[in-house]
Amino acid sequence: MSKFHFSGLLTVVAVALSAWLLGGVSRWIVPGAIILIYLFLLSLGVILMRLQFFCPVFFRGACESKQVALTFDDGPDPDSTPALLDLLREKGLPATFFCVGQRVEKFPEIVRRMQAEGHTIGNHTYAHSGFTNFYRTSRLVREISRASDVIEKVTGVRPEFYRPPVGLSNPNLARAVKRLNMTVVGWQCGLGDRRAKTSGSIVNRILKKITGGGIIALHDQGVPTEKLIATVSQLIDGVGNAGYKFVGLEQLREEQR
């Protein structure tokens, strides 16, 4: 039973019991307060995927591990992604790219290069709509499947990992990934890279938060190439100095088992 179902059930029982047992004004105030607390928890569950309120979310491997994983969202981008792939090849590091289906159709050769160089390709929906979180289950299944179809056509491999746009979750997401047998991937630290003024500020924020098994999330699209390369270069040095090693998502998950 998910936290969503459990807390929902608990709320119904608590509201019914308090309305039945209490008298006077409390009969209204207490159930009202319980419902408000539940709605607050529900909102937190939608915003903070790592709470795993609706379904299991892979956002960190084993804490005692000295391994971390690097992930990039929203690509491929014809300018920044090849430059990033050059850097990763030079350093000999694996990463996971959560690609947008439409962009995979547009730049298939970049995705084939990702695969040829040992990176993992994840699903980040077909269109990356800001309304994805409002899709009904059937539409969400179609949206994710369409991206998986495109990625499979280009690489010959159907993605196993899915990261929702904007990192929001809800009961429809839980039903969709269960139906598609996919793993939802969150992140332990990162992002905010489009807003941040300097690479140094992004890297410092990540290094303060990172722990063993951590999944780092950045964008390889919508960020100036120079800034992206500077960020990832500094991050690679900082993470290495902290004693961590970059591994692929699959390996990070194996460590957790």
Contacts of 49 (CB under 8 A, 6+ apart): 57, 59, 164, 167, 168, 169, 184, 186
Q: Is 86 in the active site?
A: no
| Burial status of residue 130 (CB atoms within 10 A of its CB: 0-12, 13-18, 19 or more) | exposed
* Under 8 Å between Cβ of 185 and 71: yes
CB of 15 to Zn ion, least distance (A): 37
- What's the CA gap between 180 and 125, in Å, rounded? 13
C-beta closer to Zn ion: residue 219 or 253: 219
Binding site for Zn ion (CB under 5 A): 73-74, 165
Kindly tell me which of 99 and 203 has the beta carbon lying closer to Zn ion.
99
User: Is 34 or 110 the residue whose CB approaches Zn ion more closely?
Assistant: 110
CB of 73 to Zn ion, least distance (A): 4
Residue 216, strand partner residues: 70, 189
Please identify which of the residues 124, 193, 219, 220 carries the catalytic annotation.
Answer: 219
Q: Which one is catalytic: 5, 73, 77, 119?
A: 73
Task: Look up 193 and say whether it is catalytic.
Answer: no
Looking at the Cβ atoms of 97 and 246, the one nearer to Zn ion is: 97
Nearest alpha carbon to residue 218 among 185, 191, 249: 191
Residues with a catalytic annotation lie at 73, 219
